[in-house]
């Protein structure tokens, strides 16, 4: 509890007025209108012809005397008190010249231009609201840029390099997903954001694309962007995605491996974008003199997980090491617990909060089922039965600990299915092999602990089985979110025993909020104080050690 103030102060420090970042706001203040995009030059905006001028002159003369009087009354005060925006129009020279009728006309033209721009801004706001409604995007924050209508707007509105647009198309991304529509425009306008969008909805591209558009490939020893991920597997996956998107430009994209963290010579390394887990990055900062003072972008992916447990202090020191005052920080996750949100709400400066769909809910693409298996033995029988009836690989099976992962693997390895296992006791290579084997179809079933629950993108995982009941609603949402990604449908089966029954309510509520049916007694169960559900379970394995 002690860490929060220091973390937050570091995370959201640097709230001084940044002219570069708020150039849009300054422009708006100057014109008095609120254009979300540069005001188009329409024929209406052209200066009036001579005939029009003569007609206006007589009208203007009628008003002139009263205006003159008012001007004199305002006098010196208006000149000296002029705030930045007004001084543009109210310099001493301009005042003298305003005695002439033609200047009054100019002012009228200016007035109509202001009105026109205001109308344009209103239309822009309306258009943005329609887009947000269509894509179920909810925002809070002021002057939030309009969501993208299409990837083409990256060029027309933000002057995106053609190589990047080409890469999007090569990757098969035709339309931005809702989170991409909103988060990209916000980050490109130089604003910070914290974003919550369903699993598999394209959050990775939502932070990679603006990053690649804003930073320039540079020289040795200058890290410009840092992406923090809670697990090594996710960091490796994000590095791969980033390289694919950056193809054609000489960006140095580096994954913080164990070796790099312990022996890396960062001063001589060309590394524009660094992807890491918190502990490895912290180690490199402290022991290898990694300089992060010129980082322009900091992304905390799976941010709620990063803030959990022992990571808080580490994240705090990383955030402090990224000391560039113009840094743009963003937080992304499919779950945004109230504690993290409350922290961000009170202290994030000028950040926009984006929620796509309903906060903390499962992807609507997943068909979810809860199955009562009675006992631990019952779960093993139910699993085998389900594989016998229909095994539609790839399948992910989640258990609550590495011991149980090993036990279940020993059970299933004798069955006629291609099964593999991943947990924290394996080497980094073994873990990566397990992931690659599932991706390549060499294994059909992968037994996993929580290490695979966050962010991992296996195309076409058809089914997630929660062999062990998840410890919280957010763990459930992330686990089952390994299926039903990028618009595909998926299935999630969760076994529960007598021991899990008191904890069913939380998960049943997730099912209800994503439109799945559950028996009414489940949601009527009493609310528990503890949100975490950790059970000492009987061993899975019925084999003796000699077997």
Q: Give the nearest distance from C-beta 352 to ligand ATP in angstroms.
A: 18
Residue 9 beta carbon to ligand ATP: minimum distance, rounded to whole angstroms: 28
As measured in angstroms, the least distance from the Cβ of 478 to ligand ATP is: 7
CB-nearer residue toward ligand ATP: 252 or 455: 455
How far apart CA 508 and CA 411 sit, in angstroms, is 29
CB of 341 to ligand ATP, least distance (A): 17
CB of 340 to ligand ATP, least distance (A): 15
Least separation in angstroms between residue 389's CB and ligand ATP is 28
Query: Count of CB atoms within 10 A of residue 236's CB?
Result: 19
The CB-of-205 to ligand ATP minimum distance in angstroms stands at 4
> Of 196 and 373, which CB lies nearer to ligand ATP in the complex structure?
196
Instruction: Give the span between the Cα atoms of 329 and 15, in whole angstroms.
Output: 12
CB of 363 to ligand ATP, least distance (A): 9
State which residue, 222 or 486, has the beta carbon closest to ligand ATP.
486
* 535 φ/ψ angles, rounded to the nearest 5 degrees: -120, 140
Distance CA 528, CA 41 (A): 61
Instruction: Please name which of 402, 404, 368, 408 lies closest in space to residue 387, comparing C-alpha atoms.
Output: 408
Give the whole-angstrom CA distance, residue 379 versus residue 401.
16
At its nearest, how many Å lie between ligand ATP and the CB of residue 459?
6
3-state secondary structure of 370: strand
In the complex with ligand ATP, the residue whose CB is nearer, 204 or 330, is 204
Between the CA of residue 74 and those of 68, 69, 93, 100, 111, what are the distances in Å?
10, 9, 15, 18, 19
Dihedral class, residue 528 (left if φ above 0, else alpha if ψ from -120 to 50, else beta): beta
Cβ-in-10-Å burial (0-12, 13-18, 19+) of 187 comes to: buried
Residue with tokens 């990694």: 290
**Residue whose CB is less far from ligand ATP, 147 or 202:** 202
Rounded distance, CA 231 to CA 479, Å? 14
In the complex, the smallest distance separating the C-beta of residue 258 from ligand ATP, rounded to whole angstroms, is 23
List residues binding ligand ATP (CB under 6 A). 173, 175-177, 180, 197, 199-205, 334, 455, 457, 459, 481, 485-486
Is the CB of 335 or the CB of 443 nearer to ligand ATP? Answer: 335
Could you tell me which residues come within 8 angstroms of residue 321 by beta carbon, excluding any fewer than 6 positions away? 285, 290, 292, 293
**Closer of 206 and 511 to ligand ATP (Cβ):** 206
Residue holding tokens 């998926």? 490
- Pick between residue 42 and residue 174 the one whose CB is nearest to ligand ATP: 174
* Count of C-beta atoms within a 10 Å radius of residue 259: 9
3-state helix, strand, coil in the chain (%, to 5): 50, 10, 40
Give 132 or 203: the residue with its C-beta nearer to ligand ATP: 203
Strands 352-356 and 395-398, bridge-based pairing: unpaired
Choice between 186 and 197, CB closer to ligand ATP: 197
In b/e form, how buried is each residue of 415-440, taking b as 16+ CB within 10 angstroms? Answer: eebbbbbbbeebeeeebebbbebbbe
Helix or strand or coil: residue 321? helix
**Taking the complex as a whole, how short is the minimal distance between the CB of residue 263 and ligand ATP, in angstroms?**
30
> CA end-to-end span of the chain, whole Å?
47
For ligand ATP, the closer of residues 334 and 463 by Cβ is: 334
């Amino acid at each position: 509890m002690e860490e929060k103030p220091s973390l937050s102060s570091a995370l959201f420090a640097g709230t001084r007025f940044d002219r570069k970042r708020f150039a849009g706001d300054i422009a708006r203040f100057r014109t008095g209108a609120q254009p979300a995009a540069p005001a188009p030059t329409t024929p209406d905006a052209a200066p009036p012809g001579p005939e029009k001028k003569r007609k206006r002159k007589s009208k203007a003369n009628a008003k002139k005397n009263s205006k003159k009087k008012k001007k004199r009354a305002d006098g010196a005060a208006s000149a000296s008190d002029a705030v930045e925006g007004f001084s543009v129009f109210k310099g001493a020279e301009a005042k003298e010249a305003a005695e002439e009728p033609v200047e009054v006309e100019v002012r009228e033209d200016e007035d109509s231009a202001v009105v026109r721009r205001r109308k344009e801004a209103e239309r822009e706001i309306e258009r943005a609201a329609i887009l947000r409604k269509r894509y179920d995007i909810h925002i809070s924050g002021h002057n939030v840029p309009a969501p993208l209508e299409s990837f083409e707007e990256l060029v027309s509105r933000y002057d995106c390099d053609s190589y990047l647009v080409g890469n999007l198309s090569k990757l098969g991304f035709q339309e931005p997903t809702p989170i991409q529509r909103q988060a990209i425009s916000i980050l490109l306008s130089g604003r910070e954001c914290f974003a919550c969008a369903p699993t598999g909805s394209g959050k990775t591209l939502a932070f990679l694309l603006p990053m690649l558009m804003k930073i320039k490939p540079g020289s040795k020893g200058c890290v410009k962007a840092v992406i923090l991920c809670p697990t090594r597997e996710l960091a490796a996956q994000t590095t791969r995605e980033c390289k694919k998107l950056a193809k054609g430009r000489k960006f140095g994209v580096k994954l913080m491996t164990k070796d790099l963290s312990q022996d890396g010579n960062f001063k001589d390394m060309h590394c524009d974008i660094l992807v890491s887990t918190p502990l490895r990055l912290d180690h490199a900062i402290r022991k290898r003199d990694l300089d992060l003072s010129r980082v322009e972008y900091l992304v905390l992916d799976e941010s709620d997980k990063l803030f959990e447990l022992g990571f808080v202090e580490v994240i705090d020191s990383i955030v402090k090491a990224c000391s560039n005052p113009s840094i743009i920080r963003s937080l992304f996750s499919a779950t945004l617990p109230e504690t993290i949100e409350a922290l961000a709400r009170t202290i994030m400066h000028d950040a926009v909060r984006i929620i796509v769909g309903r906060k903390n809910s499962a992807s609507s693409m997943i068909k979810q089922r809860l199955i009562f298996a009675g006992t631990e033995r019952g779960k093993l029988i139910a699993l085998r039965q389900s594989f016998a009836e229909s095994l539609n690989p790839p399948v992910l099976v989640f258990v609550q600990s590495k011991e149980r992962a090993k036990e279940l693997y020993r059970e299933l390895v004798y069955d006629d299915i291609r099964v593999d296992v991943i947990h924290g006791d394996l080497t980094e290579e073994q873990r990566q092999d397990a992931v690659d084997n599932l991706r390549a179809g060499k294994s059909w079933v992968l037994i996993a602990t929580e290490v695979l629950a966050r962010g991992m993108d296996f195309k076409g995982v058809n089914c997630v089985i929660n062999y062990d009941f998840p410890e919280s609603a957010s763990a459930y949402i992330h686990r089952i979110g390994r299926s039903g990604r990028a618009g595909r449908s998926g299935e999630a089966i969760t076994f529960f025993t007598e021991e899990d029954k008191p904890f069913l309510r939380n998960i049943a509520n997730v099912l209800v909020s994503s439109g799945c049916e559950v028996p009414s007694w489940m949601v009527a169960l009493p609310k528990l104080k503890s949100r975490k559900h950790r059970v000492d379970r009987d061993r899975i394995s019925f084999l003796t050690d000699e077997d």
